[in-house]
Structure 1
């Protein structure tokens, strides 16, 4: 394989410096950040929904038999909802973690790419000096590793999320649609029974109107409890879709890139 000329190395160094300086205009970085932001926004919507359900179930547990809502009571038949409530709370905590993680990814994607491009530029400059003035095997080895690992940070990581954004929806849309429909069905049925005002789609808002109607509240919570397994299963499946889209799939692609980069970095210098 012929060695690159000094002119081509100089062009590569300048291009890497420009990419590092203007990382926010890099199309790959913009697409990867947008993908992470979309997942973060969707997970935030799911988190709010989960916390609303959690609040309703927590309130329901304080309903007295034959009375209105109170802070404490001697007879609270809806305490049977506590395992469901605790499970949904734990799911919401996991969704919150995914939301924060994706938000960090969206912000960090540009700086990470800029760091990688800077490493490429530095490695290219050292390579130019080595070609110009001569250097030892150690310098060539360090330069090779610096450049390839810089390429992993600057190019492979954003590209991994770009690739994930292109295929993730197709791979998960069936699971998402199926379980989102279950969640919508359960919450919509409760909202309908709660005489939800026209134009208001909030289940929690509907439940707030039942605060003084303990008997009806118990009836509605019994319906939720009867389909608790379906509701929890649907929420877990939706959470799994988020984890697959933002963690598992990008990691698989990055793993393939990393194997390639490590193999190239460990090659004996020419």
Structure 2
């Protein structure tokens, strides 16, 4: 299938209007080269704080800073012509107050040129989401498993199996919808519950470890590309297996350098005659 030709970049309002229509294609992007490669095929690119784990080897996303998100957001924006670009607000940059959230979200938009911000949380963040959206900042919500709260939730696990957990996720999703977010990620949530929430909300749901019935799907691009083989969550599908290709290329390069067969004379600069 050919990729649709677009005349302008996708906006948060256009993403919201896709509810119940064509599935929304989303991937993470952290760098200019990857953004350039995947932009034409995606409706939405997320500069996720998952970069802390994917690019920096952190054990969680908690250590990611606002400056890191802005730097990577700027890089992604240099490589995008089509997709809507959303940048994560990192841990500690928005939870203190709605005013803190506005200052940092406004800084991200100004310094990167992105289309909106994403934040984690449900009922407790609804006032903040409303504060931001009423002041011109598009917000992408995130409920269910929330990686920034991994220290209080007992690790990475699927949620919604108990009535209490399921009811909390329902209330969180509804609160973010009512607060004015243009879409919401549902992560690590049992399939029937994610399906139910998708049908109940007025805004699109983007699933990761959720349900095929969500209005769209998102994966970490490095997972989708098969760049990590050490750990593969249940919800990840490798659409390529690049890890062994990269490793083999490095092996071949090392062998040629040690054998002095690379560089050859064709790879060098010679005096002009």
Give 1 or 2: higher helix fraction.
1
Q: TM-score, normalised on structure 1? A: 0.22
Name the one with the larger strand percent: 2
| TM-score (ref. length: structure 2) | 0.21
Larger radius of gyration: 1
